[in-house]
Amino acid sequence: MSKTILITGTSNGFGNDIATTLAAAGHRVFATMRDVNGRHREAAQKLNEKGIETLELDVTDDASVDAAFKALFAKTNGKLDVLINNAGVAAGGLQETFTPEQTRAMFDVNVFGIQRVTRAALPNMHKAKSGLIVNIGSILGRVTLPFFALYGASKHAVEALTEGYRYELSQQGIDVVLVQPGPYPTKLYTAIQKPADLGRADNYGDVAKMPAAFEEFLGGLFSSEQAPDPHDVAKTIVALIEKPAGQRPNRAIVGLDFGADAANTAIQPIQAKLVADIGMNQLTVLKTS
């Protein structure tokens, strides 16, 4: 059955591929991004040529989010079946060398952006008593790599945010799933944000050289015959949407997991026991009509 779907961050990478793949699967897709009529005009036009509708949406701006959803609901008569929170940015380097302003900007996209967009979508999903929210997290929300800890911290926050919404929305018939990709050769990694205060690296000696070495490792992986295929993420999301409500997994790891799958498996019973012990076990089961 065709669904009405909104996706954030579709100018490139996972978001662009997800939009194209879902449209090809027969869904009505609204692809959102910043600067639709500016620097992302070409990306928007290519999506339009594939029958995908595009909307201006900056996840860091309340007015932009509100305007995008107003336009969406005017076009769909208030309907939204699936929200995919994909927009994100990554940063790599010594934590101390990132300024507070850089850290704040990353969290504004990766964490507060999900909260803004989800709040805009939920009133209409509440009316329908159904819906699916897919948040794109990361394996680094479960395991920590040196020099990617600030990015990982934002994805740890997405873990908690997603889990909380899953419980809180379960009795409204609204499903919430977290997708946890490993590293892929997309712009997220190839255009990774660098620290602005490099002078602070002087105290670290040889350790300061390690972020560059890890980037070389990723570059070798991405250029090898074993390079992970970013299309895996879009295929996973197609499968999640096709699954009946109540049968979807809470989390879906895609690609190299670096131990995140084992972490998920170990934490799940602890989390389940906590919720049961406080008498809220009913929130672990999605209420379906």
Catalytic residue ranges: 151
31-39: Cβ within 8 A, 24+ apart = 31/7, 31/55, 32/6, 32/7, 32/8, 32/56, 32/57, 32/68, 33/8, 33/9, 33/57, 34/58
Kindly state the tokens that stand for 117: 């967009």
Q: Are 228 and 128 in contact (CB under 8 A)?
A: no
Per the DSSP assignment, residues forming a β-bridge with 28 are 4
Q: Are 12 and 43 in contact (CB under 8 A)?
A: yes
Q: Which residues of 59-80 are buried (b: 16+ CB within 10 A; e: fewer)?
A: beeeebbebbbebbbeebeebb
Kindly state the tokens that stand for 133: 């929210």
Dist CA 254 CA 159 (whole Å): 15
CA angle 173, 267, 141 (to 5 degrees): 80
Backbone phi, then psi, for 32, in 5-degree steps? -115, 150
